[in-house]
């Protein structure tokens, strides 16, 4: 499956990579904290992308505002929720009916913030190494949560 470079429209133009699979399943991949070097080319995000592509899912990985070629500046998670939602909307424009939001570390926290703000629809949720000891996740129900992966090391 070939990934092509695109710009996700939203409040800011976001650098992204899109690979369209067969069928109506797709995943948006949200990367680790931008202030600590996180970007869409992170090895964990890239590995997740390849796994989903092996199953013919469409994948969209993107850089949050202020990262790589994405416009804007870091917004303490508030604006990054808008970035995430813009990426999910872009995936739906290509006919993807079932969207999974997959976040690694800070990306998982941003997804949780979208849930807390009641800004998600029926997206599935996948968290990899959510930074629960470093960031406040709040107390909320996560009805779309399908999988949490936490490593020992």
Compute how many other C-beta atoms are within 10 angstroms of the C-beta atom of residue 70. 23
Using an 8 Å Cβ cutoff, are 104 and 128 in contact? yes
Distances (CA, A) of 142 to 10, 75, 123, 137: 25, 24, 11, 11
**pLDDT tens for each residue of 99-124:** 999 999 999 999 999 998 999 999 99
| Spans of all domains in the chain | 4-149
pLDDT tens by residue, 14-42: 999 999 999 999 999 999 999 999 999 99
What count of Cα atoms within 13 Å lies in the side-chain half-sphere of residue 103? Answer: 28
Specify whether the CB–CB gap between 150 and 124 falls below 8 A: no
Residue 113 backbone dihedrals phi, psi, to 5 degrees: -65, -35
Rounded to whole angstroms, the Cα distance separating 59 from 42 reads 15
Give dist(CA 67, CA 39) in Å, integer: 7
* Predicted local confidence at residue 143, as pLDDT: 84
pLDDT digit string (tens) for 58-85? 999 999 999 999 999 999 999 999 999 9
CATH 1.20.1260.10 fits 4-149, yes or no: no
3-state secondary structure at position 109: helix
Which residue bears the tokens 């970007």?
Answer: 39
């Amino acid at each position: 499956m070939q990934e092509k470079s695109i710009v996700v429209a939203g409040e800011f133009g976001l650098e992204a990579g899109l690979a369209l699979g067969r069928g109506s399943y797709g995943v948006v991949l949200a990367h680790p904290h931008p202030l600590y070097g996180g970007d869409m080319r992170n090895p964990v995000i890239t590995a997740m992308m390849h796994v989903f592509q092996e199953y013919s899912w469409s994948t969209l990985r993107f850089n949050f505002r202020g990262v790589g070629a994405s416009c804007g500046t870091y917004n303490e998670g508030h604006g990054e929720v808008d970035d995430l939602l813009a990426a999910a909307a872009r995936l739906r424009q290509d006919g993807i009916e079932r969207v999974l939001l997959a976040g690694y570390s800070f990306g998982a926290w941003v997804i949780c913030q979208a849930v807390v703000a009641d800004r998600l629809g029926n997206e599935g949720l996948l968290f990899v190494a959510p930074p629960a000891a470093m960031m406040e996740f709040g107390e909320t129900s996560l009805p779309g949560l399908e999988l949490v992966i936490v490593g020992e090391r």
